Homo-oligomer: A and B are copies of this chain.
Amino acid sequence: MQNNESFCNFAIYKVGYINYHRNKLTKEKNYNMNTFFNARDLGDITAALAEAQEVKRDRFAYQHLGKNKTLLMVFFNNSLRTRLSTQKAAMNLGMNVIVLDVNAGAWKLETERGVIMDGDKSEHLLEAIPVMGSFCDLIGIRSFAGLTDREYDYAETIVGQFVKYSGRPVFAMETATVHPLQAFADLITIEEHKRTDRVKAVLTWAPHCRALPQAVPNSFAEWMQAAPDVDLVITHPEGYELDPKFTCGATIEYDQKKAFEGADFIYAKNWSCPGVTRPEAYGQILDDYHKWSHWTVDAEHMSWTNDAAFMHCLPVRRGLIVTDDVIESPRSLVIPEAANREISAEVVIKRMLESL
């Protein structure tokens, strides 16, 4: 009775509050979007992109959907862009918003059963999560990878428990392995700025002084592969291979210069070792970052491309990921890309509201 399956069989949840809502959610709707983690959750990507432009033309046109509906935003980690853009999107839709900052140190949740909770964990997730679900209609979760246990991170344990026990639709505001609101905003931005029907996008690793999660590159790769008109090339030093379930057969080119040739969009990002080809190094920086300073995207790098636009999810460390002149150039899209976070969030929340 301590395995995952047993969670689903708790009588309290089967007969109680949660399943009432689960059943409600299975009713037929235009969409039935109960979770948002992957590109496939949006269904037809072309239709979703068209909807994004519709929302952008009048972001206040759907306020009837959010009336008397409450979004709960749960942050286990800090946030600037996601906090502001998601809150703004929900308010555009007429929702009430409650922001809950969980100080990981102050409020630890027990996740095991059969435990005597006499340590530092004062509440069990099996109570905390359904309670949170009681006071809202939608839940957004930010919960970063710990980067020490690949299996735990890639199982999306925390977020999965919110899906199972909250009784509410749940969307990712960056989880251990995905950041779909960012990737959707990236795709909207590429569609707005592309100069040809078909484009070449390059996801390039760049050096960084700290070990960073793989959520952004994972989602970027997945979404570019899901887009109908993007050819994706991924370039990084050996050992940084992303999980194939996200790259979906994309071309990997270890020679950064070759990768950049003919590119229409350069998407720079650092990530720590995903543990695919080097499982023992999961979550680590493989070499001192000074060794890879020639991978920092500068004007020479951009000269190899087809006058590519420069993209980054922000925050970005200048001098490591990209030089001042590239990020400040007319071909830099970092600000409109961030601004589109409001649009991607609004489409997702709108669809979840329509699915209630």
- Closest-by-CB residue of B relative to A11 is B330
- Closest-by-CB residue of B relative to A332 is B12
Query: Would you call B16 and A317 a contact (CB within 8 A)?
Result: no
In the bound complex, residues from chain B placing their C-beta under 8 Å from that of A80 are 100, 107, 123, 128, 131-132
Query: Would you call B135 and A314 a contact (CB within 8 A)?
Result: no
Q: Smallest CB–CB gap between A169 and chain B, Å?
A: 17
**Is A251 positioned at the interface, with any CB of B under 8 Å from its CB?**
no
**Is A356 positioned at the interface, with any CB of B under 8 Å from its CB?**
no
Using A87-B98, A330-B15 as known contacts, say yes or no to A335 and B118 having CB atoms under 8 A apart: no
SS of A interface (majority)? mixed
- Closest-by-CB residue of B relative to A312 is B127
In the bound complex, residues from chain B placing their C-beta under 8 Å from that of A182 are none
Query: Would you call A136 and B60 a contact (CB within 8 A)?
Result: no
Compute how far the CA of A91 lies from the CA of B95 in the bound complex, rounded to whole angstroms.
10
Query: Would you call A84 and B110 a contact (CB within 8 A)?
Result: no
Using A60-B68, A330-B15 as known contacts, say yes or no to A123 and B320 having CB atoms under 8 A apart: no
Query: Would you call A12 and B320 a contact (CB within 8 A)?
Result: no
Using A88-B135, A335-B16, A339-B17 as known contacts, say yes or no to A118 and B315 having CB atoms under 8 A apart: no
Select one of B68, B91, B98, B126 contacting A96, CB under 8 A.
B91
Compute how far the CA of A250 lies from the CA of B98 in the bound complex, rounded to whole angstroms.
40
Interface members, chain A 77-96 (any B CB < 8 Å): 78, 80-81, 83-85, 87-88, 91-92, 96
Compute how far the CA of A116 lies from the CA of B131 in the bound complex, rounded to whole angstroms.
46
**Is A113 positioned at the interface, with any CB of B under 8 Å from its CB?**
yes
Interface members, chain A 314-355 (any B CB < 8 Å): 314-320, 324, 327-330, 332, 334-336, 338-339, 341-342
Query: Would you call B84 and A342 a contact (CB within 8 A)?
Result: no
**Is A117 positioned at the interface, with any CB of B under 8 Å from its CB?**
yes
**Is A72 positioned at the interface, with any CB of B under 8 Å from its CB?**
yes
Query: Would you call A117 and B320 a contact (CB within 8 A)?
Result: yes
Among A107, A117, A126, A336, find the residue whose CB has the most chain B CB atoms closer than 10 A.
A117
In the bound complex, residues from chain B placing their C-beta under 8 Å from that of A127 are 314-316, 327, 334-335, 338
Interface members, chain A 59-86 (any B CB < 8 Å): 60, 68, 70, 72, 78, 80-81, 83-85
Compute how far the CA of A328 lies from the CA of B130 in the bound complex, rounded to whole angstroms.
12
Select one of B100, B289, B334 contacting A118, CB under 8 A.
B289
Query: Would you call A134 and B335 a contact (CB within 8 A)?
Result: yes
**Is A211 positioned at the interface, with any CB of B under 8 Å from its CB?**
no
Using A110-B318, A328-B10 as known contacts, say yes or no to A92 and B68 having CB atoms under 8 A apart: yes
Q: Smallest CB–CB gap between A16 and chain B, Å?
A: 6
Query: Would you call A126 and B84 a contact (CB within 8 A)?
Result: no
In the bound complex, residues from chain B placing their C-beta under 8 Å from that of A107 are 78, 80
Compute how far the CA of A262 lies from the CA of B94 in the bound complex, rounded to whole angstroms.
50
Q: Please list the 9 inter-chain residue pairs (A to B) with the smallest Cβ-Cβ separation, ordered nearest first.
A: A116-B319, A123-B315, A117-B317, A134-B339, A118-B209, A11-B330, A84-B135, A10-B328, A91-B96
A-B contact pairs, 16 of them (CB 8 A): A11-B330, A12-B332, A16-B336, A17-B336, A80-B107, A80-B128, A81-B131, A84-B136, A87-B98, A88-B135, A117-B318, A117-B320, A122-B315, A123-B314, A134-B339, A135-B342
